[in-house]
Structure 1
Amino acid sequence: MASSIRFSFVVFALLFTSAIRGETSELHTNTEYLAAGASSPIASIEEVDWISGYWQGEIWGGQFEEVWSKPVAGSMMASFKFTENDQVKFYELLTISEHQGSLLLQLKHFSEDLKGWEEKDQSMNFKLVRLTDNAAFFEGYTYKLINDNEIHVYVVIENDGKKQETKFVFKRRAQ
């Protein structure tokens, strides 16, 4: 219960702050969903290899970094960290894996002390909607390659039944 309240508070705070900065939109122009009864398209992990790398950006008055591995054994993994005022606010662990002939993006959140937000056997799952040469559209979660050094990520965040699209601008960082 406490983690649910904490999650709701964090999401509210993030949405409120980003709404003030104009980083969210009620229009979901960059995210897509599968039609009822539709299946994800056939895809392989190599088709999203362009996501791999060390990425950084700024949002909500803080900084983030996301580090994606290269595809191996049908999957890629990433860690995400959000900091504000030199303090970690939360982490995420993400994977994109080959699943039933397509791709599935999975995500778990953790507080600064590594306490999971989702139940231990639960994750947020985003099915692949479609792929282009420079974009991967998962349900409510989109990666768009702008150039070799920039990716825009659009995520639909729901709070109190209201869904808003939030844009993250990732810049490649040399490792």
Structure 2
Amino acid sequence: MPPRRNVRNGNRAPTPQTTVDEIVAQTTPQPPSPPPPPQVDREIVKLFLKQKPPVFDGMGKSENAESWIRALERIFTILMCNDAERMTCVTYQLTRLADFWWDTKMKTMPRDQVGRITWENFKEAIYNKYVPKSYRKAKAAKFYNLTQGRMSVT
């Protein structure tokens, strides 16, 4: 009886029935898989939602976006959240137009950048979209010109 061939060996010699695609698949190195996303503590998400954080719908005055961000930052400070946890929690709080805007932004962003979004990047995007520069300049000017009696901010 002839010796058996080792069928399980991945480096077997090509036979006449082996296609070119199979040969290329055997010899082509596979790209490394992307690293797993950072783990988000589910307890943090539960604790965050217990705080009854406000939602943001993207409508109304510029002050709404500003106060929404400040309210979330207070909760994140208390819970000592990292960026991944903040980004997971904050997406629960977007509704209506803001949710649609963020979903579109995520779909149009390059994939390698999506996983690297930080809380600071998110705040900057919210401010650029929902808080006009004219409003921010007016607030800064109002603060700069603020006086109490004869004392000024400067």
Task: Using structure 1 for the length normalisation, give the TM-score.
Answer: 0.21
Task: Using structure 2 for the length normalisation, give the TM-score.
Answer: 0.23
Structure with higher strand content = 1
Q: Report which of the two structures shows the higher radius of gyration computed on alpha carbons.
A: 2
Structure with higher helix content = 2
